[in-house]
């Protein structure tokens, strides 16, 4: 008979918890949000043996059960709620072999909740080089648990971990410390008042502010009212508890852990002197960024050209081989170009996340955060704002959510408002096609022009975020009293498996989440472009034939299709906004793409692909079709002036309704997303207008 058990994976940040999760679950994992809140929830499935399947939840990293953020509160919420479907049968606390003392604080707290708790000591491959030795049997006896000494890098110790999980019922649930020793009278009185409740659970409910996470749980009735002492007194009891735990941890490690300081290498400090240097640190970071953007264009060009040509050919073959009719037209002109608009950008997005994952896995990203903090404070940003700004290069939505670790509300608000200026991966498809169209190939001192342009767009977005933050800090009169603390993890070679899973998950998310929007809008646009009101649309063939008697064959068909498109529902919509966007260098077709891309920026290219596929029967790629588009005076529509104007418009405009929705959720008001929408759109319009007028 098969059995299933719930496993909660806990640990401090940078202990390798995610590596353990990835090693156990592989690709059998999914990412979502906890019900009612925007905290990311990662869960996966692992077969421990032939009859036992484990459902594993990778909880947010936390240093202790004394919650100070929403991420940390999620951990406490789950561990307090026995009625939750995810309540763990066994808790696995992942620790780093070099930071056992600090990591064990969380372990003792979790174990004292009465949950079977297993200790995992990760990065065992570092022990010899760091001069570390551990008496595992004695440590197991002292902590009254089972320990798995593992190395995810060398894939060692995982079978032992699985065996311990299968035998989790044998794990002791005795507490590591006696709370009564902290304050005899207080805790004895607490036990008498709630005789059937676990004491440490009572204590957590009383002392932790976990009400702001909307998760149902079996709370101890009226326990939060058991504050017979002032809050300052409860704080002192918490401090005494922490001291008591560290006394226990210090005594335990004194007998079980040996560190030979002379054997430990000093590579980390040597690298830090260079990578976070006041001058060379910025130079190195700039070089790394430049290399990334050059590689994104150079490496992805071959697969992108192949994908572009393949979908153009597939669309043409569909028209030629299937019988004429509504379904064939929908398939060839709506669905296939829509899918092409999704798939063509997978190589660039995969490469972007590949490099970001390498930086995070190696430990370098934390150095970047520390390095950038020095300059950000002069712009009125909290040091913790660096994390949302940097993570915004992937997506503004999780970046806005990441501002929750900023305690000061006004500083958090400023970060939320300026983060969308950071160039996210959704802008990458727009930039990629426009740069390929209007920026010539070639190099400057070995640097590709197109890569330089992409680098410029990223830098100008980040620069506008800083300028906006400075203006907002002066306008809102923010006085920052918070401090920036970031942990510097050890340097390590990135695990290829972790990098691969990250790239797979992020790329799959783009395809499934953004892809659904792109495809749905592509089909809607095809319908709007294939039908129209009045006689101009229905009598298009007769009107064009009478006005262009000299046109024959394919030229006549293309002219009829162009006339139909102009008088279709989507053509009328585009024509209605054309007077507003003409000064920016755009025509009504680009106007339609601007409107539709409000659902998601990357829809821009798919929209034009659909529009041009409806208009032309020729077997052309998206890029070549856009490149051949001309204005009424015969000049190219996508030239240097209009191309850069359009790129700058997307660099500054709030073209993402999902970001607006998350800003509303995080600020609990429509006021700030409304200001964000109109403020960024006005700025984008003014800059795009100025750019086009100057360059043209």
Give per-10-residue mean pLDDT for the chain (696 aa). 85 85 79 51 86 90 77 81 88 89 92 93 81 90 92 87 91 88 82 81 72 39 52 79 91 87 62 83 82 73 81 83 81 78 75 81 79 75 72 70 68 87 81 85 77 87 90 73 61 82 78 70 76 83 80 72 78 86 88 76 71 56 73 81 92 80 77 90 94 91
What are residue 11's DSSP bridge partners?
94
What are residue 147's DSSP bridge partners?
119
* CB distance 424 to 394 below 8 Å: yes
Is 0.75 topped by the overall pTM?
Answer: no
Spatial CA neighbour of 61 closest among 46, 72, 73, 53:
72
Residue 253 CB burial class (10 angstroms; 0-12, 13-18, ≥19): middle
What are residue 93's DSSP bridge partners?
10, 119
Instruction: Give the integer Cα–Cα distance in Å for 18 and 255.
Output: 30
Instruction: Give the integer Cα–Cα distance in Å for 430 and 646.
Output: 9
Question: Where are the domains positioned within the chain?
Answer: 1-264, 266-531+568-696
Instruction: Give the integer Cα–Cα distance in Å for 407 and 162.
Output: 39
Instruction: Give the integer Cα–Cα distance in Å for 219 and 223.
Output: 8
In Å, what is the CA distance from 353 to each residue of 74, 422, 436?
27, 16, 21
* CB distance 246 to 63 below 8 Å: no
pLDDT of amino acid 217: 38
What are residue 630's DSSP bridge partners?
636
Using DSSP bridges, classify how beta strands 40-47 and 52-58 pair: parallel, antiparallel or unpaired.
antiparallel
DSSP letters spanning 158-213: HHHHHHHHHTGGGS----SS-GGGT-HHHHHHHHHHSTTS-HHHHHHHHH---TTS
Using DSSP bridges, classify how beta strands 132-134 and 257-259 pair: parallel, antiparallel or unpaired.
antiparallel
Q: Does domain 1-264 have CATH number 3.40.50.300?
A: yes
* CB distance 471 to 381 below 8 Å: no
> In sequence order, what are the residues at sequence separation of 6 or more whose Cβ sits closer than 8 angstroms to the Cβ of residue 76?
65, 67, 204, 208, 210
């Amino acid at each position: 008979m098969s059995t299933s058990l719930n496993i909660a994976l806990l640990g401090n940040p940078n202990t390798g918890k995610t590596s353990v999760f990835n090693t156990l679950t592989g690709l059998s994992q999914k990412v979502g949000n906890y019900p009612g809140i925007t905290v990311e929830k990662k869960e996966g499935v692992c077969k421990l043996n032939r009859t036992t399947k484990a459902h594993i939840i990778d909880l947010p990293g936390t240093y202790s059960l004394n919650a100070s953020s929403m991420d940390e509160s999620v951990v406490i919420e789950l561990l307090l709620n026995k009625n939750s479907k995810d309540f763990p049968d066994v808790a696995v606390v992942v620790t780093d072999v070099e930071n056992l003392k600090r990591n064990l604080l969380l372990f003792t707290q979790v174990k004292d909740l009465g949950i079977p708790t297993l200790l995992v000591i990760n990065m065992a491959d570092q022990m010899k080089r760091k001069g570390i030795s551990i008496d595992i049997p004695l440590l197991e006896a002292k902590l009254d648990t089972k320990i798995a000494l593992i190395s995810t890098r060398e894939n060692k110790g995982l079978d032992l971990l699985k065996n311990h999980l299968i035998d989790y019922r044998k794990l002791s649930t005795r507490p590591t410390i006696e709370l009564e020793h902290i304050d005899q009278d207080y805790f004895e009185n607490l036990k008498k008042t709630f005789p059937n409740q676990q004491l440490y659970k009572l204590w957590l409910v009383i002392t932790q502010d976990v009400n702001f996470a909307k998760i149902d749980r079996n709370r101890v009735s009226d326990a939060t009212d058991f504050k017979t002492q002032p809050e300052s007194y409860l704080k002192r009891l918490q401090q005494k508890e922490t001291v008591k735990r560290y006394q226990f941890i210090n005594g335990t490690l004194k007998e079980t852990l040996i560190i030979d300081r002379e054997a430990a290498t000093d590579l980390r400090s040597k690298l830090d002197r260079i990578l976070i240097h006041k001058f060379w640190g910025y130079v190195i970071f700039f070089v790394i960024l430049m290399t990334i953007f050059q590689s994104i264009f150079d490496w992805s060009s071959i697969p992108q050209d192949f994908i572009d040509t393949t979908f153009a050919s597939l669309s043409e073959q569909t028209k030629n081989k299937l019988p004429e009719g509504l379904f064939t037209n929908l398939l060839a002109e709506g669905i296939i170009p829509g899918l092409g608009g999704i798939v063509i950008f997978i190589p660039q997005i995969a490469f972007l996340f590949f490099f970001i994952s390498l930086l995070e896995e190696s430990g370098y990203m934390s150095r970047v955060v520390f390095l950038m903090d020095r300059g950000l404070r002069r712009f009125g940003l909290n040091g913790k704002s660096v994390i949302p700004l940097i993570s915004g290069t992937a997506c503004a939505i999780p970046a806005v959510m990441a501002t929750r670790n900023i305690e000061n509300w006004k500083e958090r608000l400023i970060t939320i408002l300026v983060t969308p200026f950071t160039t996210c991966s959704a802008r990458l498809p727009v930039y990629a096609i426009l740069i390929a169209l209007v920026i010539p190939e070639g190099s400057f001192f070995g640097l590709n022009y197109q890569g330089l342009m992409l680098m410029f767009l990223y830098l100008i977005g980040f620069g506008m975020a800083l300028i906006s933050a400075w203006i907002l800090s002066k306008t809102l009169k923010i006085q920052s009293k918070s401090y920036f603390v970031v942990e510097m993890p050890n340097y390590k070679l990135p695990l290829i498996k972790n990098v691969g899973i990250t790239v797979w998950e992020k790329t799959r998310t783009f395809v499934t989440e953004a892809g659904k929007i792109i495809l749905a809008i592509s089909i809607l646009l095809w319908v709007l472009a294939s039908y129209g009101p009045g006689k101009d649309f229905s009598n298009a063939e007769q009107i064009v034939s009478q006005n262009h008697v000299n046109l024959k064959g394919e030229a006549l068909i293309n002219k009829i299709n162009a006339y139909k498109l102009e008088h279709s529902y989507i053509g009328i919509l585009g024509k209605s906004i054309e007077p507003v966007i003409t000064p920016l260098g755009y025509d009504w077709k680009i106007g339609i793409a601007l409107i539709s891309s409000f659902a998601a920026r990357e829809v821009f290219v798919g929209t034009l692909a659909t529009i041009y596929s409806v208009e032309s029967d020729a077997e052309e790629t998206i890029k070549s079709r856009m490149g051949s588009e001309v204005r009424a005076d015969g000049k190219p529509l996508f030239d240097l002036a209009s191309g850069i104007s359009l790129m700058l418009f997307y660099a500054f405009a709030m073209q993402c309704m999902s970001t607006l929705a998350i800003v509303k959720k995080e600020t609990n008001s429509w006021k700030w997303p409304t200001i964000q929408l109109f403020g960024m759109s006005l700025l984008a319009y003014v800059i795009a207008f100025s750019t086009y007028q100057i360059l043209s």
